[in-house]
Amino acid sequence: MNKLALLVELRNVSVTQNNKVILNDINLDIRLHEQWAIVGRSGSGKTTLAHTLLGSVFFTGKINFHLPMASHHNATIMGVEQQHRFKNLSNTSDFYYQQRFNSSDADNAVTVEEALKRYYPSEYPADKIKYWLDQLHLTDLLQEPLIQLSNGENKRLQLAEALLGDPALLILDNPFTGLDVSGRQLLHTIINSITADGIHVILITGAGELPECITHVAVLDQGRLVSKSKKEDYSAPLLHSMTKGLTGMLAQEVTVAIPADFVHAIKMKNVRIRYGDKIVLDNIDWEVRRGECWSVSGPNGAGKSTLLSLINADNPQAYANEIYLFDRRRGKGESIWDIKRLTGYVSPELHLFFEQYSSAFDVIASGIFDTIGLFRSLSEDQTIQVDHWMKLLELVPLRNRPLFQLSLGEQRMVLLARALVKNPPLLILDEPCQGLDEEQSEHFKSLTDQLCRHFNTTLIYVSHYEKDIPSCVSKFMRLDNGRRIL
């Protein structure tokens, strides 16, 4: 076949990091007018392949690009990463986690509009800017500080930044992660639209998120390319159970839950949160009794993260509202550490603030002290405690590896272990299965179910995916535009 028909060719591409083979002898041809999805389990090398194609990872072998030069596209490659890291107006990225909930600190953060102006020249057609802003539902967010965007809003901003670069090839690393149902449907439509416009796409994704425009699927497993086929010939692999014997391990090895005497884990009365003229939560009444398991849902930007920040002692506006945590009203002498001691927490946003050179063991151990990082020595019992949770979540091989060397799915599992490590009476899990493959998600759901039932743990569980909600959940609250609608 004519070589000019090729868009991308990979020949014997391998990546080794710290003596560990991440990609092993990858050979792949992507031709003009083909749109490829790269799928595989967490840790299979998908994100590393994306970074290799974008030129940010050292590799051996050869990669050749034959990008088309159309009148309305640059012969460039743009990428959309899973996580969005950005700088403030001082040109630094030294944000702290609670900063997004402090309205005065948001003044140093760039707005959506300011961020986007970095990606297109002044002569860029205004109608094209408006088109992408409208398509991605960003027009109403232009004056919002980036630090206060929800995870889904951030994802749409990343897409806009890439598309305004007018690329010939767009590499998307798990772009559906963190999006609600309507957001995922919208993104399917957008990806179909941009491929119809002549932009080629390589999509790193799960087997359940293959837009109509995708023509071919490649499967990675432990760094090897194990299959490549047309989409109609691809079938997702069967799941393997990872939960056998879990109940016995829980009973034998998990530390007894932190003792705490309370009737209500959470009680809110007419809670109202606003930033300037924007009302984020509006007259929220909510009671969560000890041992109840709740699902909190709602579209991106509905106020879910703000609601959780009030529970997890990260939002100073809690003091201006009638909020009770563990039967004590906020502002009556308790410290944030009194609250965090009884709480295990994980969220996509929290993920961004961990030191990437910390080992998996140290990240998990930091959960014992409720700190973002490990700053003190562990006792022998605490070390055993961390090792038990690493065994339960099948993380033992990652014990001494720094966070940055792990796949994002593996990083998420480490942070989930951090939330669980002290077996607290209240678990707040915000999109806990985000970034996990299906087997990991099933394993974690089973663990959460058993933990809540065995220890009478109170659970607040946020997910856009109904299939990810554990069976122990029996109560539901939905937010929309800051109001409770269910």
Average confidence (pLDDT) per 10 residues, the chain, 486 residues: 75 91 96 95 91 94 86 76 59 46 58 83 78 85 81 80 87 86 85 89 92 96 94 78 56 68 95 88 96 93 90 87 93 84 87 81 93 87 92 91 86 91 93 86 89 92 91 95 88
Residues 166 and 217 in one domain: yes
Whether 241 is in a domain gets the answer no
Q: Looking at residue 1, what is its pLDDT? A: 43
Residues 180 and 280 in one domain: no
**CATH number, residue 84:** 3.40.50.300
Whether 21 is in a domain gets the answer yes
Whether 240 is in a domain gets the answer no
Residues 229 and 251 in one domain: no
Which of 206, 233, 260 represents a domain boundary (last residue)? 233
Residues 193 and 254 in one domain: no
Nearest to 308 by CA among 176, 431, 181: 431
Q: Looking at residue 94, what is its pLDDT? A: 45
Q: Does pTM surpass 0.95?
A: no
Which of 178, 203, 233 represents a domain boundary (last residue)? 233
Residues 278 and 220 in one domain: no
What lies within 8 Å, CB to CB, of 86 at 6+ separation is 93, 110, 115, 146
Structure token pair of residue 180: 């609600």
Whether 392 is in a domain gets the answer yes
Residues 259 and 224 in one domain: no
Residues 209 and 336 in one domain: no
Residues 283 and 217 in one domain: no
Whether 101 is in a domain gets the answer yes
Residues 203 and 290 in one domain: no
Residues 413 and 325 in one domain: yes
Residues 221 and 291 in one domain: no
User: Which structural domain, as residue segments, surrounds residue 174?
Assistant: 3-233
Whether 160 is in a domain gets the answer yes
How many folded domains does the chain comprise?
A: 2
Which of 200, 233, 266 represents a domain boundary (last residue)? 233
Whether 356 is in a domain gets the answer yes
Residues 228 and 252 in one domain: no
Nearest 5 degrees, angle CA 236-CA 241-CA 242? Answer: 120
Whether 123 is in a domain gets the answer yes
